[in-house]
Amino acid sequence: MKTENFDNLSNKDKRIAIAKDVIKSIEAKIYVAKMGHIVETPRSLDNRLYNTIKEFPLQQLIPKYKCKVCAKGALFLSHVLLYNNYNVQGHFGVSNSDVSEEVDYFTEEQMDLIEIAFEGSRWVWHSSSITMNDETYAIQFYEKYPKEDERLVAIMKNIITNKGKFIPSTNLSIGFKD
């Protein structure tokens, strides 16, 4: 899909398109789900970037390297790889503000719920609008999928099943392999 076409999608459809790409990237082993980092690039990519003053389009680099990602990192990379000309130079790192700026069609509350369901805790997330009930469901979602790759795919399938919204209280077995 071209950037212009993506820009014309509703936020709901953008979330679904990105969730589908995350699943595809996990299955193709481009992303490896890993708790604790937004995006962790291989040392070979870091070395390549560190020794250059030239900017590189991220879209050309990531498919050549396996990157470890958390839920937010996976959403960020899929967005950038598919729909955004994001250049890196000298070092590649992703912050929460990078994710918020690029993947702005997910609300802060949604991103925090997704990350709680992936990481298993709320220790760094700060959305005050998340209820204890929602947080409990997100942690139960985390507990249902002990393997990180399976958990990330289940989160993305939940987004697709629920028409672009992550709803951790949805019957966790619908559409997911056990």
Q: What does the pLDDT look like over 38-87, one tens digit per residue? A: 777 655 455 555 555 566 667 666 666 677 889 998 998 899 888 876 76
Q: What is the 3-state secondary structure (H, E, C) of the chain?
A: CCHHHHHHCCHHHHHHHHHHHHHHHHHCCCEEECCCCCEECCHHHHHHHHCCCCCEEHHHHHHHCCEEECHHHHHHHHHHHHHCCCEEECECCCCHHHHHHHCCCCCHHHHHHHHHHHHCCCCCCCCCCCCHHHHHHHHHHHHHCCCHHHHHHHHHHHHHHCCCCCCCCCCCCCCCCC
174 in any annotated domain? no
168 in any annotated domain? no
176 in any annotated domain? no
89 in any annotated domain? yes
pTM for this prediction: 0.83
**Total structural domains within the chain:** 1
175 in any annotated domain? no
103 in any annotated domain? yes
pLDDT tens profile 138-177:
999 999 999 999 999 999 999 999 999 999 987 554 444 4
Supply the range of the domain harboring residue 117: 3-161
18 in any annotated domain? yes
81 in any annotated domain? yes
